[in-house]
Structure 1
């Protein structure tokens, strides 16, 4: 057997697409396939998500309900029932790949998903893993599971790795316009993967293997993590020298070659940059390699929430107050502006550290009305509204996430003291850069 029948179903838009994991990666991808007139079934273990989608509602602020409603009225459905996987021609896995408490890869979401799918696998089907992982994951973990069902990879079953490149809230690039890297376990697998993604994405970038595609994703995010670690360390040095690091960065960015602008912040957030580098450092140890450069950047970035807490304590001290007993307002829980994504956001560690020092904490985030459930943090808090009177009640305001919805002039006029981690306020005696 060969891939001809699968490719024909893809080309004729007769293929049924299944997307597993309807989060920040899976949901946009599923909608993209549905909008290209494929029948799409979205799978998620969270029954509340499936219910919301089935009712045409959204749970991601950057994806409008109207888009979901149009997809539901067309070719898209959402479910928790894995038995529906028997209908699928293409399986795309977009589930989380977190770190455990020892900062080692936790691939249980991936392996559990594939294991549950095994009864529904069939010949002339393609499976694509999009979840970020270490080089070798597809070959070493996924391939043996599929082969245990008697399939021959590249002949009657097709296996690829194509890393996600979603950037929630980025209006300049969409799922369709962001180039898509794809690697296959065999040449036939790669051909099938390219055909699948070419049906919805403008540019597909084929690479020689799944390992290459897996390493590509890690390099992209390690590049960012290392450079963010560099500017975070430079921020600390500049602060001690009385230099505005943001002015330095803006000046350096005028160089038309050899410099890429990165900006410091209160710590890393999102699913990718705080986690992905450690997938490579873990795998590298198998080859006897100590990735010192990557791990050093990780240490710098993980230390930034403590830096913010210390700057807050210093600023309060200059105003004759202690952290203990002070009322502090956190602006923004999301890891980046204008989205509701709070995965690995530094705000949670900052809140926990300030609470441990006796501060009384509130937060305001237009995208996160209630404090989300977290593995390490559980606070009964709700977003407070901002007005001159409410802001004046706080001893200190800390800007963590610079959402465009915040009225920065109102905040600056009303706050007694501001810790600015995003360079959004004009310098004056009550603004402390962190």
Structure 2
């Protein structure tokens, strides 16, 4: 049976379903549509559906023209009707995997997606999970749900067999929003199937839209690969964040140190400090492994320490803000503070886990009057942790002069750093952005 599905994939008659039309699912759906596959995007957010079906994008770095082309070609449509899963031959799950308040994995979105698929799963369908998660998720959560699918559907007591009746794989997303060098189609894709037939189908499918696939021996290896990638970054960012605090006490410029170390042609890769970690992966993924490791009686002290350091950074930045104001006979309590940048990294509109949101919270707690400016984020929308009723202020001379401190959190390329420096009383730069733009002024400080 799996050979028939491979043939349908190769002649592009297979229909693809994408569950979750966010920063991962939408660009993937558009790639399949662009390559000639009839693609159905599923999402529970009713606001997205009419926007997408009218050819509009709600993600800034994904142009509406690309959505419009996919819709007009009749190769892409969005829906919230999950009964249409039965129309698809391949289903790819791209849903969030947040942490709960105890920093434990919240598998609600994966579980709910799996239950919806199980309601309509038919023989010969392929399912791939792309959401970042702990090793074992695909086989421990999704596989049992799909094996019981006929029972759920009321078709008797006979269970489906993976690799025979349905096919299952894990392939971690590697999206980097607005990366000028790499896109969904040009980033190599790791793929692990539950059985050899599952892997064969997964490779056939992803090879249609991705420049290179990297097969591994199991879903667990693929799941662990994603965690290693982000733990590697988390630990190295924590290292430079800690060094920033140490060197600051020693009156050493960490940015100069990193620049000098980067001249070594081997054995060193530059990582840069900041006000904290952001995005959906690096602040979250390491804790998926620490949680799972406890099942095996292992304490991942190294990974957890990195998480603690990175979590501390917004508090360190606010402490530095207080010191800067104090030097100028101002108290943080009662001061007007403008945060530059609300997204978690430059030149995108993605606010997920942005350290700017935590900075706002801490500054409010300290009694500061806080505003923000971000050309990519006109309004702060509700997140799982925060619900601020704030709009981006206009960045003009009159507004800048009102603030006791301007705190740069996100170093957007389109900020006019010279204009900001000339019209601000005090500036605290957490990204070394002003100096990189050739700005040297007495009112500029670094954190």
TM-score over 0.5 for the pair: yes
Report the alpha carbon displacement of residue 186 of structure 1 after superposing the two structures with TM. Answer: 0.6
* TM-align CA RMSD: 0.8
Determine the C-alpha separation between the residues in 2 that align with 1:92 and 1:376: 27
**Partner residue in 2 for 1:204:** 213
Q: Does 1:413 align with 2:426?
A: no
**Partner residue in 2 for 1:432:** 445
Report the alpha carbon displacement of residue 346 of structure 1 after superposing the two structures with TM. Answer: 0.5
**Partner residue in 2 for 1:84:** 84
Report the alpha carbon displacement of residue 376 of structure 1 after superposing the two structures with TM. Answer: 2.4
Report the alpha carbon displacement of residue 375 of structure 1 after superposing the two structures with TM. Answer: 2.4
Determine the C-alpha separation between the residues in 2 that align with 1:299 and 1:393: 35
Structure 1 segments, 4+ long, off by >4 Å, are none
1:330 to 320, 339, 345: 339
Report the alpha carbon displacement of residue 47 of structure 1 after superposing the two structures with TM. Answer: 0.6
Q: Does 1:137 align with 2:137?
A: yes
Determine the C-alpha separation between the residues in 2 that align with 1:227 and 1:357: 30
Give TM-score, length-normalised by structure 2: 0.96
Determine the C-alpha separation between the residues in 1 that align with 2:206 and 2:268: 33
Determine the C-alpha separation between the residues in 1 that align with 2:21 and 2:362: 32
Report the alpha carbon displacement of residue 429 of structure 1 after superposing the two structures with TM. Answer: 2.3
CA contact (8 A) 2:421 2:441 kept: no
1:371 to 374, 380, 404: 380
Task: Name the stretch that deviates more: 151-160 or 224-233.
Answer: 151-160
Q: Provide, for residues 17-67 of structure 1, a one-character-per-residue CA deviation record: whole Å limited to 9, x for no partner.
A: 000000000000000000000000000100101111011111111000111
CA contact (8 A) 2:318 2:363 kept: yes
Q: Does 1:171 align with 2:180?
A: yes
Q: Provide, for residues 99-122 of structure 1, a one-character-per-residue CA deviation record: whole Å limited to 9, x for no partner.
A: 000000001100101101212111
2:393 to 384, 389, 392: 384
Q: Which sections of structure 1, spanning at least 5 residues, go unmatched?
A: none
Determine the C-alpha separation between the residues in 2 that align with 1:181 and 1:306: 37
Q: Does 1:220 align with 2:220?
A: no
**Partner residue in 1 for 2:256:** 247
Q: Which sections of structure 2, spanning at least 5 residues, go unmatched?
A: 150-158
Determine the C-alpha separation between the residues in 2 that align with 1:331 and 1:373: 19
SS at match of 1:33: helix
Q: Provide, for residues 150-209 of structure 1, a one-character-per-residue CA deviation record: whole Å limited to 9, x for no partner.
A: 211111211000000000010100111100000000111111100010011110000000
**Partner residue in 1 for 2:125:** 125
Determine the C-alpha separation between the residues in 2 that align with 1:431 and 1:51: 46
Q: Provide, for residues 276-330 of structure 1, a one-character-per-residue CA deviation record: whole Å limited to 9, x for no partner.
A: 0000000000011000000000000000000000000000000110011111100
Report the alpha carbon displacement of residue 388 of structure 1 after superposing the two structures with TM. Answer: 1.5
**Partner residue in 1 for 2:167:** 158
SS at match of 1:154: coil
2:194 to 185, 188, 191: 185
Task: Name the stretch that deviates more: 388-397 or 203-212.
Answer: 388-397
SS at match of 2:281: coil
**Partner residue in 1 for 2:153:** none
Determine the C-alpha separation between the residues in 2 that align with 1:339 and 1:50: 22
SS at match of 2:223: helix
Determine the C-alpha separation between the residues in 2 that align with 1:302 and 1:428: 30
SS at match of 2:433: coil
Alignment of 1:99-118 (within 5 A): 99-118=99-118
Alignment of 1:3-18 (within 5 A): 3-18=2-17
Determine the C-alpha separation between the residues in 2 that align with 1:226 and 1:50: 39
Determine the C-alpha separation between the residues in 2 that align with 1:292 and 1:352: 28
**Partner residue in 2 for 1:148:** 148
Q: Does 1:29 align with 2:28?
A: yes
Determine the C-alpha separation between the residues in 2 that align with 1:95 and 1:377: 20
Q: Does 1:271 align with 2:280?
A: yes
**Partner residue in 2 for 1:347:** 356
SS at match of 1:272: coil
SS at match of 1:67: helix
Report the alpha carbon displacement of residue 430 of structure 1 after superposing the two structures with TM. Answer: 1.2
**Partner residue in 2 for 1:58:** 57
Report the alpha carbon displacement of residue 389 of structure 1 after superposing the two structures with TM. Answer: 1.6
Determine the C-alpha separation between the residues in 2 that align with 1:225 and 1:173: 21
Determine the C-alpha separation between the residues in 2 that align with 1:255 and 1:168: 29
SS at match of 1:47: coil
Q: Provide, for residues 332-375 of structure 1, a one-character-per-residue CA deviation record: whole Å limited to 9, x for no partner.
A: 01000000100000111111111111111110001111111022
Determine the C-alpha separation between the residues in 2 that align with 1:7 and 1:431: 60
Task: Name the stretch that deviates more: 352-361 or 92-101.
Answer: 352-361
Determine the C-alpha separation between the residues in 1 that align with 2:400 and 2:62: 31
